[in-house]
């Protein structure tokens, strides 16, 4: 693998002295050359001694530091300077590979960081930090070349000492000469060429002094948050090291298996508090050259942990604390939020979550404290750092008057996920990023158990269906989706590791854990996890280690029997992308499996896919749960699943939707289920009514069954009183492909007539609740989740009472904005209020938006402004957006917002064509990528494509024209496919109204 962008810089002490005597003109040349190197890190000559880092001689800007003398080697020749041209590239070597060579094993880090954040100086355009680190390592292979991770750091000192005496780290030892230091930027390596080889089995110290930048616009490495608290502008610093950002903060061995202990020291302004993984050990004072006083906070030694869990925060937050089983839990947040009680829910629930998991696994949380901090802005939502959990405040804070279970359940889920990581990830860490799902999948799965523990009335299976399974089944398919366990060594750059933190790692990983729990009894499942966690505590594990402990638990009992080993079963799921469609012929009992493809082609067979799955078949017959069976071949016969001619004979596969697959039936199987739904829908559990709708529409959309088969399942809906089942029906029946195309309007009166007569009963139930006591829904988490789509559809279908309810709520709110619109339907009510109103309502809402500070609420208001049915209002809206400066809409592309509405998409299209220059100047030429979709949403003929292509040809360069044309052709194909599908839906509706 080539290192196309690697470069290197070499220095020595001798040459440093020579450089010190050069003229000012030569210094200016050096500055210019440094600029040419761009982001390349630099090694600088040592200047003066620094305490705390043995052997370094690091000068920190603005710092006055005195300490013990550095080690004096008996024979340590100065490194020779190697000059290099700008286009120099290293030869091929270990720096070409994503993983470090196994030459050194880190044992301990002494890490000191000094960010220069001052509460009285928040206007600095860039903020620097300095640091130094002693890394104690053990050599495993004789080598005269060292590699460790470093990225966007500058260096002032690089030294290697050793070998260390076996009895103490502080013994006087010699210095290993460092001849050259250079950087392989592709894989973020710092390379040290030594004057002599290190000895296998011996320990050494790497002493490094460095500096870097505190970032402002991203949550990577060390980063800043600016915010307002108690009426003042303030700032804080926090860290995010996962997956590979520790190397942006300090030089290190930045791989999850290279665990070590850490002694962390943070130097900070006395007006701030410093937090890290462990409790504070000591504080002292340091005075810099300007006479400013800084606080030096040291922390206790951490347990063995990977670099990605190193954490720190420097802030002036307040906190609330609780004690759980003798260990302190502190939640830190803005002082305003502390005073308002917004952290109370989090601080009261976190301790019991720890206790629940301690009791479940019979393994105590090993750290003496836990700090949790709520950041005003954190891109990652939450991070599980050992002892210092970092959250975005939206995911942690609950306003004292917010009684909705929906919000509480969300916060509970996020906290549960991060606390779950204290065992899955922190105590036992995956050996390499290939198995990151062992961290994220199990943490995601145990969210479910914790929510059920604290809210036992919530339907566990339905929550998992909506929160986890539903989303990943929409994304996963056999051809392009990746396996849960992915080969990472072949990645060409470190940034690809970030891409592993996706829906497959989290959601599919949780589905794997749930399926495993399903075909084992829970006693075996938990015992296996206990054994796994105990065996690999403070260490690392791979997927096979987990399977081995499950197999041990299986072998120790004789209740649960499997068709093969746990490894064979689970490897069939984790090493291939996609999932199977399991089809049962109820006449013959023949069951087969095949991969689920998007838009299955007639000639595509199982032969196109490498493997089958070993599928656990959980099933129910005539309302009674049946013993588990296994489908471990492409086709098998199960005589017990054959059905008689009786109307009451029916079968459903995948009981409780525990398995990760979709289910199909032959024509008779679907007919039997339809008959049962129409006769007595409650005989089929809610989770399976959801499953039937979800599977049938997904299978019909992708050519496994006819659309008419899915539509037959909706005939019984007049008897359906579960709003979450209605939600699943509506998201499949009424979606953008139905609404967007003008040619689809023929289906509207048919849908209206078909659905309204079935919807009246459940509408009356929920409209009464909304009018009389919406608080009655506060504990019905899934109803709150479903209510918006339900009300939106009822109003779209023209249900008079729905429109009247929207007008009532909007007018009450307009008369008194303190009279809140019920949160679950706020977006729908605002949209309908504007759609049914005039420019009076529109102008009021715009004024309200301009005075709104809440980002989430502002998004709802902008969407509502685009709901007007008046083209002149929408045109005025877009003109306002591109002419007013500064824009009150920040970076939101108002043309795209308008184009999302039914009327707005045509107005936006004309506006864009007539005002392209002004739109381009306002939003930038790159905005066309999004706007091409606006233009193409109704394209269904070559003539329409040509018309749009003609317009685009006048405003785009050649490359952009080619890309836009390809998008338009793809949209035309998709629109034509939808048009055919909708025509068949219309025909069926006509027959069944």
Q: Give the residue from 822, 735, 754 showing the smallest Cα distance to 787.
A: 822
Give the dihedral of Cα atoms 862, 866, 871, 877; nearest 10 deg. 10
One-character DSSP codes across 620-663: EETTEEEEEEEE-SSEEE-GGG---S-TT--EEESGGG-SSSEE
Active site residue 418: yes
421 is an annotated ligand-binding site residue: yes
C-alpha distances out from residue 366 to 165, 327, 531, 900, 969, Å: 31, 10, 17, 51, 58
CA triple 335-352-418, angle to 5 deg: 70
Where on the phi/psi map is residue 844: left (φ > 0), alpha (ψ -120 to 50), or beta? alpha
3-state secondary structure of 271: coil
Euclidean distance between CA atoms 221 and 246, whole angstroms: 6
* Neighbour tally for 128: CB within 10 Å: 17
Token output for 580: 């199977």
Token output for 956: 């785009």
609 is an annotated ligand-binding site residue: no
Q: Give the residue from 498, 507, 505, 513 showing the smallest Cα distance to 483.
A: 505
Q: Is the sign of the CA dihedral 967, 973, 975, 977 positive or negative?
A: negative
Token output for 925: 């030429």
CA triple 294-300-304, angle to 5 deg: 130
Euclidean distance between CA atoms 683 and 677, whole angstroms: 8
Contact 90, 182 (CB under 8 A): yes
One-character DSSP codes across 11-60: --HHHHHHHHTS-HHHHHHHHHHHHHTTT---B----S--TTSTT---PP
417 is an annotated ligand-binding site residue: yes
Catalytic residue among 112, 384, 418, 722: 418
Contact 51, 67 (CB under 8 A): yes
Backbone φ and ψ for 36, nearest 5 degrees, come out as -65, -30
In 744-837, which residue ranges form alpha helices assigned H by DSSP?
748-772, 781-796, 800-815, 826-835
Q: Is the peptide bond before 696 cis (omega within 30 degrees of 0)?
A: no
Question: Which residues share a beta bridge with 233?
Answer: 228
3-state secondary structure of 251: coil
Return the active site residues.
418
């Amino acid at each position: 693998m080539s290192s196309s962008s690697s470069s290197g810089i070499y220095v020595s002490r001798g040459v440093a002295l020579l450089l010190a005597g050069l003229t000012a003109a030569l210094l200016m040349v050096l500055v210019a050359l440094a600029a040419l190197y761009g982001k390349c890190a630099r090694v600088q000559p040592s200047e003066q001694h620094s305490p705390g880092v043995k052997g370094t001689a690091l000068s920190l800007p603005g710092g006055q530091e005195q300490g013990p003398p550095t080690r004096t080697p008996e024979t340590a020749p100065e490194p020779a300077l190697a000059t290099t041209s700008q286009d120099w590239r290293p030869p091929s070597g270990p720096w070409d590979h994503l993983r470090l060579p196994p030459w050194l094993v880190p044992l301990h880090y002494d890490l000191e960081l000094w960010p220069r954040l001052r509460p009285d100086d928040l206007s600095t355009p860039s903020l620097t930090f300095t640091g130094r680190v002693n890394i104690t390592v053990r050599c495993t292979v004789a080598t005269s070349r060292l590699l460790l991770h470093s990225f966007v750091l500058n260096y002032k000192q690089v030294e290697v000492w050793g070998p260390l005496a076996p009895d103490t780290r502080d013994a006087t030892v010699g210095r290993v000469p460092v001849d050259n230091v250079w950087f392989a930027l592709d894989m973020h390596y710092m390379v040290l060429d030594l004057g002599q080889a290190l000895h296998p089995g011996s320990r050494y110290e790497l002493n490094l002094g460095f500096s870097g930048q505190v970032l402002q616009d991203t949550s990577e490495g060390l980063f800043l948050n600016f915010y307002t608290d108690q009426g003042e502008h303030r700032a804080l610093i926090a860290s995010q090291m996962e997956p590979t950002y520790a190397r942006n903060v300090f030089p290190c061995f930045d791989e999850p298996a290279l665990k070590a202990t850490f002694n962390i020291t943070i130097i900070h302004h006395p007006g701030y508090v410093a937090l890290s993984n462990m409790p504070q050990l000591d504080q002292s004072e340091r005075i810099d050259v300007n006479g400013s006083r800084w606080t030096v906070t040291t922390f206790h030694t951490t347990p063995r942990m990977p670099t990605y869990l190193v954490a720190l925060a420097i802030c002036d937050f307040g906190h609330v604390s609780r004690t759980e089983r003798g260990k302190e839990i502190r939640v830190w947040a803005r002082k305003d939020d502390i005073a308002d009680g917004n952290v109370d829910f989090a601080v009261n629930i976190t301790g019991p979550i720890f206790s629940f998991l301690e009791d479940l696994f019979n393994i105590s949380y090993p750290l003496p404290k836990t700090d949790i901090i709520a950041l005003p802005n954190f891109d990652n939502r939450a991070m599980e750092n050992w002892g210092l959990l970092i959250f975005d405040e939206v995911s942690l804070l609950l306003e004292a008057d917010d009684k909705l279970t929906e919000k509480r359940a969300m916060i509970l889920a996020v906290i549960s996920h991060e606390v779950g990581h204290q065992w899955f990830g922190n105590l036992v860490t995956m050996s390499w990023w290939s198995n990151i799902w062992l961290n994220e999948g199990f943490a995601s799965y145990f969210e479910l158990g914790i929510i059920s523990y604290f809210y036992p009335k919530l339907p566990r299976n339905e929550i998992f269906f909506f929160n986890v399974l539903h989303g990943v089944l929409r994304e996963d398919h056999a051809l392009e989706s990746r396996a849960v366990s992915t080969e990472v060594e072949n990645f060409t750059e470190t940034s690809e590791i970030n891409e592993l933190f996706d829906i497959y790692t989290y959601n599919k990983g949780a589905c794997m854990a749930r399926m495993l729990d399903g075909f084992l009894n829970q006693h075996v499942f938990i015992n296996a996890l206990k054994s796994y966690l105990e065996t690999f505590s403070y260490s690392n594990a791979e997927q096979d280690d987990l399977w081995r402990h499950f197999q041990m638990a299986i072998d120790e009992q004789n209740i649960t029997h499997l068709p093969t080993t746990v490894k064979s079963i689970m490897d069939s799921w984790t090493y291939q992308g996609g999932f199977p469609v399991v089809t049962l012929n109820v006449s013959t009992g023949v069951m087969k499996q095949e991969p689920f493809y998007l838009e299955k082609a007639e000639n595509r067979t199982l032969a196109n896919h490498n493997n089958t799955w070993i599928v656990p078949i959980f099933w129910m017959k005539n309302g009674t749960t049946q013993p588990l069976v296994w489908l471990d071949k492409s086709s098998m016969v199960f005589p017990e699943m054959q059905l008689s001619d009786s109307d009451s004979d029916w079968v459903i596969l995948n009981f409780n939707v525990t398995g990760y697959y979709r289910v199909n039936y032959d024509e008779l199987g679907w007919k039997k289920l339809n008959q049962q739904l129409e006769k007595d829908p409650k005989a089929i559990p809610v989770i399976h009514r959801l499953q039937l709708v979800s599977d049938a529409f997904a299978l019909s959309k992708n050519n496994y069954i006819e659309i008419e088969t899915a539509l037959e399942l909706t005939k019984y809906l007049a008897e359906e009183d579960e709003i979450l089942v209605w939600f699943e029906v509506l998201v499949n029946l009424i979606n953008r492909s139905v609404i967007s195309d003008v040619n689809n309007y023929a289906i509207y009166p048919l849908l209206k007539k078909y659905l309204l007569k079935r919807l009246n009963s459940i509408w009356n139930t929920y409209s009464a609740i909304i009018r009389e006591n919406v608080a009655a829904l506060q504990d019905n988490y899934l109803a709150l989740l479903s209510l918006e789509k339900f009300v939106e559809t009822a109003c779209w279908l023209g249900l008079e009472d729905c429109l009247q309810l929207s007008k009532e709520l909007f007018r009450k709110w307009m008369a008194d904005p303190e009279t809140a619109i019920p949160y679950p339907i706020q977006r729908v009510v605002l949209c309908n209020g504007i759609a049914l109103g005039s420019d009076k309502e529109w102008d009021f809402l715009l004024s309200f938006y301009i005075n709104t500070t809440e980002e989430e609420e502002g998004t709802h208001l902008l969407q509502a402004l685009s709901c007007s049915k008046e083209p002149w209002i929408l045109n005025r809206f877009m003109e306002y957006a591109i002419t007013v400066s500064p824009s009150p809409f920040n970076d939101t592309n108002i043309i795209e917002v308008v184009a999302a509405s039914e009327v707005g998409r045509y107005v936006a299209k004309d506006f864009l064509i007539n005002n392209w220059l002004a739109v381009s100047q306002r939003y930038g030429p790159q905005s066309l990528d999004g706007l091409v979709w606006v233009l193409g949403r109704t394209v269904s003929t070559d003539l329409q494509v040509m018309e749009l292509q003609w317009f685009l040809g006048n405003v785009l360069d050649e490359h952009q024209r080619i890309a836009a044309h390809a998008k338009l052709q793809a949209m035309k194909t998709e629109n034509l496919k939808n048009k055919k599908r909708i025509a068949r839906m219309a025909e069926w509706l006509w027959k069944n109204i």
